[in-house]
Structure 1
């Protein structure tokens, strides 16, 4: 993780047309339990990332290796943050939100303000990340305030005395599976996440997390985390669920089984991979990527690390179809390209057309053959259901948007 410069919100284009998706499996009815939503701020690295695919791929390869703590989201192009209060009275910290890690820690660029609710556990925490950066310090418990309805007592948090690569951010809010916290805190097996404790303390009735993003170019400059269920107002169909995969190493994360077709051609047979908010692009096994590159006619652009296609090739681009649990989700041609209004942020040319599907660097059969990152999640609402060990998806008003 290269230390970041300043981060800023940049999105400005209006959302255009959208349609609904027909699915081939019986979905769960669209009914949500009592839920509470945390608004997120969208940020983009304002200085750009010289090679977006290389920056992203380092995270993917750490995940593939099964090194559950060694993942980084701060060098993604698009990141989501939340202002989280710690202590009583609360001091607020701007934290990176990540479903691919689970420790929550503060202390970067802003000192921890101790109050009467602060308790030093005497244990040390250390979280290394895949690019060589890290956070380390003392583990405390304290009152954590996500919003007025989401207040957690005795939440375990790391207070970093040493860290690298956080830019202007103050730490990280980890909302991934609790198993990812193993071996990160001394004298501790694993650390209850904020979602765990909201459930254990009775604030939410189900250990479920709903995630909503909008396309970067849509003009919608916020995201949402909904604790205890999902926000039915954000979806245009029902939520369809699939069990967490049993295949390692994908099973350690929000792992699912899916297949992918380009038009009517299967490019990736059903296999295991993950859904990850901390990854910007969509990554597929190298053999599947070669087939995709051949079908699209894209050529590798060395500056961005992405496939580039011409305007004529874009007109011929077919949809990608992700089949998950018998339900097919269509990623339209427009959803497969980087937002052209944001080309400068990846050091692309003004009129360049770049594809957001890239190779993870390993052939299929690795145990983690795809990563559905932000560019997938901005088109589909996602639900992470710890209670029932499943992940769900639904269409939104942006599934068929043409804003890119």
Structure 2
């Protein structure tokens, strides 16, 4: 399926096979900045924030399952694989928070006349929200979107409320307006105008003004097309796909295809099993070429810091790493000098996780491994986040319902 321009966000390497690689360069490259609450300014991991981020990822996925059922009238196939969320739940003395753990953010413009905002691009959710004029102290230092000053804004006559694991919320009114990125324009885009930002979205924790979800309509709290699907409906992109490169330097988002300068070889494509999340089948995980975890679903999420799975399969993976020790809080300690040689396999192709992205320094001479667990998750799926995605170029193909991974250039 073909439409018009494109947009680029790069920070993932994935290999391609099975289907032809996009060759025509018709998109626009948008640089991304990174902020992770799980890391300190010196690059060492904040273990308290890391534990909270694991819980936050699972809570976000669970919230999407509930939204999916509300929008479609049917339970999401993976919903039974997650235990119910308990408000104010704790583990190891750590209260769940809505801290936005992994941020890959860039600039958009909204309204007429257009005003610029920064947003976190998140493939693990589907809605766009920004702080509104009635959002007081928790929105301070963020750019505020005022629908009354935009001639193209329309009130949808509906509210929204996004709840998080600690019982806090982002809530407000729903509108539609013109939203553009680097000349790609979505008209009539649904967005939330927040009257309340909880503490995790204060500027000290969340430097972007708002969040733009890039999954599917079925998990939209507004039950409306996400931004990229609106671009497709507006014939604004030449190809109904977008791609991410999520490296520490030169991170980009590409809307409308793939940036051929950012990857080598062909893509390995994996079909989306269930539209909602970018949910695909992972063949398994290996350590030193030995498979330690078998096939299961994988949700590809740019908004998750680590790889999160069930405790049993994560224990199986670490059993082949001699220095690994379970910390009892969802994380494992690992020797800082280890070279675990971990790979994830999709559509028969193995993709390596470099030790530099897998081994996270605590700053005290100890290190944490990039595989983590949450006891609310059963064995049916993993959440595959930044620890893996920094190692591949990732192509999210909306039109053909598939994800492609390629080697980074």
TM-score bin (small chain): 0.7 to 0.9
SS at match of 1:272: strand
Aligned: 1:195 with 2:219: no
Q: Which residue matches 2:253?
A: 225
How far did residue 26 of structure 1 move? 3.8
Residue among 109, 116, 124 paired with 1:100: 124
SS at match of 1:117: coil
Counterparts of 2:98 and 2:245, CA distance in 1: 19
Counterparts of 1:352 and 1:327, CA distance in 2: 32
Residue ranges of structure 1 left out of the alignment (5+ in a row): 1-19, 341-347, 398-404
SS at match of 2:218: helix
For residues 219-252 of structure 1, the C-alpha deviation after alignment (integer angstroms, 9 at most, x for no partner) is: x1x5211111111111122112110125xxxx53
Counterparts of 2:280 and 2:265, CA distance in 1: 20
Counterparts of 2:53 and 2:285, CA distance in 1: 24
Q: CA RMSD in A?
A: 2.7
Q: Which residue matches 2:375?
A: 361
Residue among 123, 127, 141 paired with 2:158: 123
For residues 177-201 of structure 1, the C-alpha deviation after alignment (integer angstroms, 9 at most, x for no partner) is: 12111xx23xxxx211110111111
Aligned: 1:208 with 2:241: yes
Q: Which residue matches 1:170?
A: 209
SS at match of 2:54: helix
For residues 344-363 of structure 1, the C-alpha deviation after alignment (integer angstroms, 9 at most, x for no partner) is: xxxx2343232111123257
Counterparts of 1:76 and 1:140, CA distance in 2: 23
Residue among 317, 322, 336 paired with 2:358: 336
Aligned: 1:300 with 2:326: yes
How far did residue 21 of structure 1 move? 9.0
How far did residue 387 of structure 1 move? 0.6
Counterparts of 1:245 and 1:353, CA distance in 2: 35
Q: Which residue matches 1:3?
A: none
Seen in structure 2, the aligned counterparts of structure 1 residues 271 and 196 have a Cα distance that, compared at 3 Å, is: same
Q: Which residue matches 1:402?
A: none
Counterparts of 2:395 and 2:256, CA distance in 1: 10
Seen in structure 2, the aligned counterparts of structure 1 residues 138 and 62 have a Cα distance that, compared at 3 Å, is: closer
SS at match of 1:31: coil
Q: Which residue matches 1:153?
A: 187
Counterparts of 1:161 and 1:61, CA distance in 2: 22
Seen in structure 2, the aligned counterparts of structure 1 residues 201 and 134 have a Cα distance that, compared at 3 Å, is: same
SS at match of 1:75: coil
Counterparts of 1:243 and 1:111, CA distance in 2: 39
Counterparts of 1:73 and 1:227, CA distance in 2: 31
Counterparts of 1:135 and 1:377, CA distance in 2: 27
Residue among 221, 228, 242 paired with 2:270: 242
- TM alignment of 1:80-99, pairs within 5 A: 80-99=104-123
Q: Which residue matches 1:43?
A: 35
Counterparts of 1:27 and 1:262, CA distance in 2: 28
SS at match of 1:238: strand
Further displaced range: 30-39 or 265-274? 30-39
Further displaced range: 53-62 or 291-300? 53-62
Q: Which residue matches 1:15?
A: none
SS at match of 1:196: helix
Seen in structure 2, the aligned counterparts of structure 1 residues 331 and 272 have a Cα distance that, compared at 3 Å, is: same
Counterparts of 1:245 and 1:236, CA distance in 2: 26
Seen in structure 2, the aligned counterparts of structure 1 residues 266 and 127 have a Cα distance that, compared at 3 Å, is: same
SS at match of 2:251: strand
Question: Which protein, 1 or 2, shows the higher relative CO under an 8 Å CA cutoff with sep ≥ 6?
Answer: 2
Q: Which residue matches 1:53?
A: 51
Counterparts of 1:57 and 1:351, CA distance in 2: 25
Q: Which residue matches 1:386?
A: 398
Counterparts of 1:225 and 1:74, CA distance in 2: 24
Residue ranges of structure 2 left out of the alignment (5+ in a row): 1-12, 69-84, 86-95, 132-138
Paired residue total = 346
Residue among 344, 348, 373 paired with 1:326: 348
How far did residue 139 of structure 1 move? 1.2
Judge conservation of contact 2:129–2:192 (CA < 8 Å) in 1: yes
Judge conservation of contact 1:234–1:396 (CA < 8 Å) in 2: yes
Q: Which residue matches 2:307?
A: 282
